[in-house]
């Protein structure tokens, strides 16, 4: 389905990003991985993608909180593959704290990684996508791109910003065959959510089990976590011709959370 195309997935060494990278590789796309983690595990993932899916896979350790590192990553990817056809802005970080106690450096990091990085990658891929009259940009939002929760000021602000960036990108790319959408998951059981559970427990004076059952899954009417495979399947669909008229949308996959 995506043979001959190249997908760059940020934050793809674990969790949702890894699942999306694997799914797009299964669809035939070459993959540019990005993220942090154990070097041996990342190399095993990269090599496994090439072996299992018969595509080419590379890895960039670029720190996406830094614009110059993003530019270097994008130039390297373009030099290797001739350009990026599918961009998935998935990298993110979370921190939980009351606003009046929120560390300024944490605010700056979350905005840089969760929002500004998507701007930088997008501005750098659009010329290629517009020139070839085809491109897919998928921004990873959240239910928090639509609603708020206490103690997550930076994350909620960044995800609301991602929604706005998606809409603007969608309008600018509309007549060039470029489509941009936001996937808005509810709680997905990933290492990031495990961290949120621990942080929320501390912030609210609750046990982690209480947070999981009374805060996390309480928000989702299905009372189930979203799976990484479900998110990856939606990302895959957005790259198909059948999704060509889905543009500028915030697509919820949250068990009904934001329907309440």
Task: Show which residues are catalytic.
Answer: 155
Please list, in sequence order, all residues whose beta carbon lies within 8 angstroms of the beta carbon of residue 192, skipping any fewer than 6 positions away. Answer: 15, 92, 93, 94
Q: Which of 168, 20, 246, 229 is nearest to 8 (CA)?
A: 20
Nearest to 6 by CA among 88, 69, 111, 83: 83
Whether 151 contacts 203, CB under 8 Å:
yes
Q: Rounded to an integer, what distance in angstroms lies between the CA atom of residue 77 and that of residue 8?
A: 8
The Cα 96–Cα 108 span in angstroms is 14
How many whole angstroms separate alpha carbon 64 and alpha carbon 32? 14
Tokens of 161: 């910003």
Angle at 72 between CA 22 and CA 45, to 5 degrees: 25
Determine contact, residues 85/133, Cβ cutoff 8 Å. no
- 142 vs 158, 178, 189, CA distance in Å? 10, 22, 13
């Amino acid at each position: 389905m995506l043979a001959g195309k190249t997908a760059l997935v940020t934050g793809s060494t674990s969790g949702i990003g890894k699942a999306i990278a694997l799914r797009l590789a299964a669809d035939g796309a070459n993959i540019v991985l990005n993220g942090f983690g154990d070097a041996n595990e990342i190399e095993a993932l990269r090599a496994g993608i090439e072996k299992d899916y018969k595509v080419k896979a590379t890895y960039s350790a670029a720190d996406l909180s830094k614009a110059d590192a993003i530019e270097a990553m994008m130039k390297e990817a373009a030099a290797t593959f001739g350009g990026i056809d599918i961009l998935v802005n998935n990298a993110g970080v979370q921190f939980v704290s009351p606003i009046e106690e929120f560390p300024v450096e944490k605010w700056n990091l979350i905005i840089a990684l969760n929002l500004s990085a998507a701007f930088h990658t997008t501005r750098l891929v659009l010329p290629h996508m517009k020139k070839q009259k085809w491109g897919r940009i998928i921004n990873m939002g959240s239910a928090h791109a639509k609603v708020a929760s206490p103690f997550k000021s930076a994350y909620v602000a960044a995800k609301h910003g991602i929604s706005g960036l998606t809409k603007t990108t969608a309008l600018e790319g509309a007549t060039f065959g470029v489509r941009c959408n936001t996937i808005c998951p509810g709680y997905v059981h990933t290492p990031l959510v495990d961290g949120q559970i621990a942080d929320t427990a501390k912030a609210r004076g609750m046990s982690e089990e209480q947070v999981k059952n009374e805060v996390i899954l309480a928000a989702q009417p299905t009372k189930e976590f979203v799976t990484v495979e479900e998110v990856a399947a939606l990302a895959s669909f957005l790259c198909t011709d059948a999704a060509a008229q889905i543009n500028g949308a915030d697509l919820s996959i949250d068990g009904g959370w934001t329907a309440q």
